[in-house]
Structure 1
């Protein structure tokens, strides 16, 4: 391998920085989803408990809190997704240089992963579906609780 076929120290630093950035934000994204699922479980149990005690106003408030929490997590997910893509862009640039210098097209790992992703089957799609389902459920629960309170 000749000297011109190696990545420079700067390119290696850019890749390392991009990887660390991507890794940090991808990890935050997964942790936020895990935390949301735990919060959603607690809110669901609280809602059911309030209904069992015929405390419809409390149940409605818990459902509204679920809507607010879902909106907050969905917003956080959108921003974190953007930050993950920033890291991917840095890695793609260096992977392109690596593919160019080595002659190995397989070095385009990030681009290959994007190309081979099944249509519609991404973390973003799954997360949006979860948030949308909980939003619909919380809205339905709030209406149900308010209707129960009106009796």
Structure 2
């Protein structure tokens, strides 16, 4: 049987978990910002290529966007896993505090899990990735249709 954690154990757990959470939550937002820039340039590049270069260049831009969408979606899934691991670790600390002082308000991770109908970052990001993948596939199809004319 494991001994009850000491305050020092909990403080160390909190410090490590919080730092892990901060770093990876920040990284997740920066990845999404960079991805949105890539999407914007890709959409502009697609139409520029279609008008000035030809369907082949537009096809390449669409394939690039589809590939980047897959890469950033994969990176986001991994970063989300790490954020969830740190949240779970923080939950241990806040649950311990809740039991010790008897106030449910300190259990902030559990409270924040109750979104009350609001979308999570993951749901919004998934919608963005799906929309951009759909745009990329539409660009591929459109480019190939141009090739057939």
Give your verdict on TM over 0.5.
yes
**How big is the shift at 1:102?**
1.4
Separation in 2, partners of 1:120, 1:113: 11
- Name structure 1 gaps, 5 residues minimum: 1-6
**How big is the shift at 1:118?**
3.1
Residue in structure 2 matching 1:136, options 116, 123, 134: 134
**How big is the shift at 1:97?**
0.7
- Report what 1:17 is aligned to: 16
- Aligned 1:139-150 pairs, distance under 5 A: 139-150=137-148
Q: Secondary structure at the match of 2:116?
A: coil
- Report what 1:76 is aligned to: 75
CA RMSD of aligned residues (A): 1.1
- Matched positions, count: 144
**How big is the shift at 1:54?**
4.8
Separation in 1, partners of 2:27, 2:59: 31
- Aligned 1:15-94 pairs, distance under 5 A: 15-94=14-93
Q: Secondary structure at the match of 1:79?
A: helix
Runs of 4+ in 1 over 4 A off after TM superposition: none
- Aligned 1:97-116 pairs, distance under 5 A: 97-115=96-114
Separation in 1, partners of 2:72, 2:53: 29
Q: Give the TM-score taking structure 2 as reference length.
A: 0.93
- Name structure 2 gaps, 5 residues minimum: 1-5
2:102 aligned with 1:125, yes or no? no
